[in-house]
């Protein structure tokens, strides 16, 4: 089986995982990548005004992980799961879609990286800091896209 990433919803974000709901992280499933020693995930919105907006940075995920539960606590280190970085809201952990009202659909890219080494990066990295650290370590990538809009 090829490296992959999926969630319980298809295409559109359910309200629970957005700023209009309970704003908790959605559950994710990882299909393992052969040779991976750890994983990292970044969730971002390239349709945000001004710049690509980062909603979640999570890394140091053990290679044995096949499921990330919904509602990951907003802690720098989540025991048994990994470390979380700073999103563009300036917070640790996940903050869901919250596009400007009337702005139409925004696309949210969940990007998973399979890494050739077991990582122990410090918590609190930004997405750009993480991407710099995983250069040369990425052996496979997977992605899924979901949309959300606020009227």
Domains annotated on the chain, with CATH = 4-148 (3.90.280.10)
Q: CB within 8 A of 81, min separation 6: which ones?
A: 58, 61, 62, 65, 68, 72
End-to-end CA distance of the chain: 40
- In three-state secondary structure terms, 108 is strand
Say whether pTM exceeds 0.85: yes
Residue 2: pLDDT band by 50, 70, 90 thresholds?
confident
CB contact at 8 A, 17 and 96:
yes
How high is the pLDDT of residue 1? 53
Of 129 and 103, the structure prediction assigns the larger pLDDT to: 129
Which whole number is the average pLDDT over 136-140?
A: 96
Which whole number is the average pLDDT over 18-29?
A: 96
Phi, psi of 141 (to 5 degrees): -135, 150
CB contact at 8 A, 97 and 107:
no
How high is the pLDDT of residue 4? 87
Phi, psi of 91 (to 5 degrees): -115, 155
pLDDT in tens, 40-65: 999 999 999 989 999 999 999 999 99
As a whole-number percent, the residues of the chain with pLDDT over 90 amount to 91
Considering only the C-alpha atoms of the chain, give the largest distance between any 2 of them, rounded to a whole number of Å. Answer: 44
Mean per-residue pLDDT over the chain, rounded: 95
What gap in Å lies between CA 97 and CA 90, rounded to an integer?
15
Which whole number is the average pLDDT over 101-128?
A: 96
Is the pLDDT at 90 greater than 90, yes or no?
A: yes
What gap in Å lies between CA 104 and CA 101, rounded to an integer?
8
Which whole number is the average pLDDT over 3-13?
A: 88
């Amino acid at each position: 089986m090829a490296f992959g990433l999926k969630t319980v919803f298809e295409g559109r974000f359910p309200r629970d995982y957005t700023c209009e709901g309970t704003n908790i992280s959605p559950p994710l499933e990882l299909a393992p990548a052969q040779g991976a020693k750890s994983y990292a995930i970044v969730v971002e919105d390239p349709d945000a005004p001004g710049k690509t907006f980062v909603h979640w940075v999570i890394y140091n995920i053990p290679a044995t992980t096949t499921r990330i539960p919904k509602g990951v606590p907003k802690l720098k280190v989540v025991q048994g799961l990994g470390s979380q970085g700073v999103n563009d809201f300036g917070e640790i952990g996940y903050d869901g879609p919250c596009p400007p009202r009337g702005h139409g659909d925004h696309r949210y890219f969940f990007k998973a990286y399979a890494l050739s080494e077991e990582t122990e990066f410090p918590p609190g990295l930004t997405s750009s800091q993480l991407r710099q650290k995983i250069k040369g370590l990425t052996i496979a990538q997977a992605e899924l896209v979901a949309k959300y809009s606020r009227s």
